[in-house]
Structure formats: C-alpha cells, structure tokens
Amino acid sequence: MTAWTGTIRDRWRDATGVDAAWIVLFSILFYASKWTGKLIDEVPGHSGAFWIPALLLSAVVVRRPGSAALTSLLGAAFWCFPRGGGLGALAPYVVGGVVVDFLVRRDGWRRSLAGLAATGAACHLGKFFFHNVPKLLLGVPADFLIVGLLPVLGLHLLFGAIGGSLAWGTKRALRLDSAPRP
C-alpha cells in the first residue's frame, strides 16, 4: 500500500497550475454535458455519451493517477449538490472516474479508438452497477432484475462506447495527446 500511495504522491508532486486548470476545465465540461444530456430524457444511459468524454480527456491530457476521479468528483459536485442529490448521487460518477483512471493507465488503451471506446463502456458499466447492485442486495428478485435491466445494460454499454469514441475523436482533432507528459 505504501508503494502505491508513494507513487501517486510522486506523480502529483510536480503538478502545475496548468494541470489544475485542465481538471477544472474538464469538470466544467462534465457539468455542461450533464445539462446537454437532459435534452433527451427518455433513453436510459444516454447522458454517458456526453459526460464520459470529459473524464477520458482529463485522464489523457493530465496523465496523473486519479485525474479522472478528481474531475468526476468536481463535475458531479457541481451537478449534484445544487440539485439536492448529495453524496448518493455523487458516488456513481466517482466510481466511473476510478474505472477510467485504472484503464487509461495502459498506454495502448489511451491511444486507440477501441481502447477508449472500451474504457468508456467500462466507465458507464461501473456507474450502472453502482446503481443496481444495492437492489439485488436488498432482495429484488434476480430474474426480475435481469429481464428488466438487460436492455438498459446494453444501452449503457452502447452510450459508454459512444462517449469513448467521442473522446478519441476530440483528442485526435485537438492533438491533446501529442506532447510528452510526466
């Protein structure tokens, strides 16, 4: 545990104001994307196509452990607390940020369309499972959950992959990944 936390501390020790500015910018983008997602309310999981690119771009540009989780924490705080959501509404987005941070550490995943699409899908699945595992633990029959949530699970995978693909396209178009970083 000490080696892992030491590594995180070492990777953030030389962080600059530019890194902080990127995280704040992507947090604001996360907040704005949640509003964009409110334009279409009938399709479950659709907003992932809008907010997942902000997390992926934060992880790709800042390249420090926990940058996507920090971005999701700040962006979801902007989104959840004024609306009365509290910590229960904030946590699923942080789980998505942690999933992104874990997967984007691999260089191939960060650079390829398939890698970012898979990371976006995994991020959205993390949020989906965070919402639905407690229902299973509380005794909702598993067959009811599987039949009722299987199409929703597919939509979460689809919109997560779309979000990852949008992040890859944005990264390529703006050349956000070209400069060597720590």
How far apart (Å, rounded) are the C-alpha atoms in residues 25 and 47?
Answer: 19
CA nearest neighbour of 124 among 30, 36, 52, 50: 52
Domains of the chain: 15-174 (1.10.1760.20)
Quick one: pLDDT band at residue 151, thresholds 50, 70, 90? confident
Of 181 and 8, the structure prediction assigns the larger pLDDT to 8
Please give the pLDDT value at position 34: 83
How far apart (Å, rounded) are the C-alpha atoms in residues 178 and 138?
Answer: 48
Tens of pLDDT, residues 11-55: 667 778 888 899 999 999 998 988 887 777 778 888 889 999 999
Quick one: pLDDT band at residue 7, thresholds 50, 70, 90? low
Q: Is the pLDDT of residue 1 over 50?
A: no
Those residues with Cβ within 8 angstroms of residue 122's Cβ, 6 or more apart along the chain or in another chain: 99, 103, 160
Q: Is the pLDDT of residue 69 over 80?
A: yes
How far apart (Å, rounded) are the C-alpha atoms in residues 94 and 74?
Answer: 9
State the average pLDDT for the chain.
83
Quick one: pLDDT band at residue 10, thresholds 50, 70, 90? low
Please give the pLDDT value at position 84: 67
CB atoms within 10 A of CB 79: 21
How far apart (Å, rounded) are the C-alpha atoms in residues 113 and 111?
Answer: 7
Please give the pLDDT value at position 88: 76
Rounded to a whole number, what is the largest CA-CA distance in the chain?
51
Of 135 and 161, the structure prediction assigns the larger pLDDT to 161
